Each structure stands twice: as C-alpha cells, then as structure tokens.
C-alpha cells in the first residue's frame, strides 16, 4: 500500500482552496508570505496617520536634513496614489527614499474609501494634477500608483487627456487587464470594474494614438492579488511601455521594499524615447 495514494481524493479540494501557482511551495514563497504579513501588521499601525489628506507643502528655507540628500537638478513633482481600501501611509518609506535622492516635490493623494467608480476618481485626480502643476510651476508630473491607484492614473492619462500633464506613470501590481481574484468581492462596484472584460478595462484596450506618457509597470511573480499574474503588465500597441518583473516579493511589498524603490527611481529618471509601442522588458530579483 502506498500512503501517497491516499491523498489523491483531496487534490480537487486543495486545487479549489489554493491557486495553482501556489501549489509548489518554495522558500521564496514562504519568505514573501512572511514579509507580506509583517508589512500588513506595520501598515495597520500606520494606517490612522494617513486617513486625512496631507498638508500641501510650501517653499521653505533649506533645512539641516537637506545635507543628507543627493544633489540633483529640479525634477518633475512625484504624485503617489494608493490602492483599494488603503491610504497614503503605504508610501511612507518610498516617499522618504525619493526625497533622499533629490525629489523636491512629492505629494501623496488620498481618494475616498467610498469611491465606487474609476472614472470619477480619475477626473478628481486630474484636477489635483492641474493644481499641483500650477502651484509648483511644472508642466508635467510623474505618478507612482499602487494596485488600483495605477489603474485610476492610467485611465486619467489614456482616456481623459492626462498625458499632457503626466510624463511617466509607474504602476505597482496594477491589474491592467483585470484580475479574477476574490470573486466574493464583486458586490463592490469598483472591484467589478477591475475584472477582465469590464467596461473600464475595455476602454483601456481601445486606441490611444499619440499618448505622450511613458508607462513602467512593476509586476511580481508572487503577487497573490493578480490573477493571472501577467495582468499587471501593460500590453498596448499605442503606448510606450516597460514591464519589469519583480521576483521574491508579494503585492503589499511592492511600494515598500528598498530594492523596488531603487527600480522606481531608475524608472522615473528614464526619458521617454524610442519607437512608440516597442515594449522593453526588465527584471528585478529581491533576495
């Protein structure tokens, strides 16, 4: 008698309970899961500090802390946009990292947790971007969007003419083609908009001739919220895109991990060039 044969009847149940991509447990997956749990715990502690909108910064005299920042030319403002049921506190470490490397204008925007429409959130984002450009004197900004935040920013850029104000859009674990994860959450209208085949996703697959924004999408091979995993890549013939595969971290770690932050800084420093629609593929391995 083979003991291993006794497990056969339970395989269908296991396949229903766990995604196929999680079937082969590995050290990398265990490390990533532990990191996700630690990040979630820390984020729950920080969450109350990010509920309100941040105060808009006003020009001030250099502080002693400026000595620790690397000298650099004046670059476009960076706008950070959080994901679903989240707030600006998720970008605490990334914001600090960008500031230490010379980004002088960084703003984190909150959208309401009661937001039920990506289009409405994108229109509100557009008004914020125009206000930031007017206040800082810059014609264009860079955006870093995590998860749903990246989808809102992409809709603004691609469907509302936001490419006139957005130079580079970096997305982190954003379901560009829709995600099938957590079907029980379909009761929420904005979750339904993030499903494959939704009206919003269909709009984003439509023509976007002459779009001037450069897209850089970071996607993780251990992202449990992206189903399929490749949905976090931008695949559009009219867009200038770069898809960066991140190995070794999960969904929550993308806006937090220092190695990803380094990749984000490099992406923001890339000038849009080359043939439009020629996708470049890169990789980032996190130990």
**In terms of C-beta density within 10 A (0-12 exposed, 13-18 middle, 19 or more buried), how is residue 89 classed?**
buried
For range 86-93, the mean pLDDT: 91
For the residues 14-24, what does the mean pLDDT come to? 46
pLDDT in tens, 228-264: 999 999 999 999 999 999 998 999 999 999 999 999 9
Mean pLDDT of the chain, nearest integer: 83
Q: What is the mean pLDDT of residues 73-83?
A: 91
* C-alpha–C-alpha distance, residues 128 and 163, integer Å: 14
Question: Average pLDDT in the 94-123 region?
Answer: 92
CA 209 from chain centre, in angstroms, equals 24
pLDDT at 31: 80
pLDDT-above-90 percentage for the chain: 61
Burial of 130 (0-12, 13-18, 19+ CB in 10 A): middle
Reported as a single tens digit per residue, the pLDDT across 187-218 is 999 999 999 999 999 999 999 999 999 999 99
Residue 45 has pLDDT above 70, yes or no: yes
Percent share of the chain, pLDDT over 70: 77
Residue 275: pLDDT above 60?
no
């Amino acid at each position: 008698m083979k003991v291993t044969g006794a497990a056969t009847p339970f395989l269908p149940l296991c396949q229903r309970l766990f995604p196929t991509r999680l079937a082969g447990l590995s050290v990398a997956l265990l490390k990533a899961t532990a990191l996700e749990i630690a990040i979630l715990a820390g984020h729950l502690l920080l969450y109350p500090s990010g509920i309100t909108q941040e105060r808009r910064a006003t020009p001030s005299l250099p502080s002693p802390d400026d000595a620790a920042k690397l000298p650099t030319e004046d670059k476009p403002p960076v706008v950070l946009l959080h994901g679903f049921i989240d707030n600006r506190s998720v970008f605490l470490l990334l914001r600090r990292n960008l500031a230490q490397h010379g980004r002088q204008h960084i703003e984190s925007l909150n959208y309401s947790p009661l937001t039920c429409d990506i289009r409405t959130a994108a229109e509100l984002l557009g008004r914020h971007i125009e206000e930031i450009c007017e206040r800082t004197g810059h014609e264009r900004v860079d955006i870093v969007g995590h998860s749903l935040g990246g989808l809102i920013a992409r809709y603004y850029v691609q469907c509302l003419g936001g490419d006139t104000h957005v130079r580079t859009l970096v997305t982190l674990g954003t379901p560009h083609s829709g995600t099938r994860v957590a079907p029980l959450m379909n009761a929420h209208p904005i979750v339904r908009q993030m499903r494959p085949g939704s009206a919003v996703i269909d709009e984003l697959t439509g023509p976007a001739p002459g779009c001037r924004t450069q897209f850089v999408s970071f996607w993780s091979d251990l992202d449990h919220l992206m189903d399929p995993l490749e949905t976090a890549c931008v695949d559009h013939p009219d867009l200038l895109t770069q898809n960066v595969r991140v190995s070794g971290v999960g969904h929550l770690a993308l806006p937090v991990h220092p190695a990803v932050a380094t990749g984000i800084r490099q992406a923001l420093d890339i000038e849009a060039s080359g043939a439009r629609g020629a996708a470049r593929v890169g990789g980032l391995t996190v130990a």
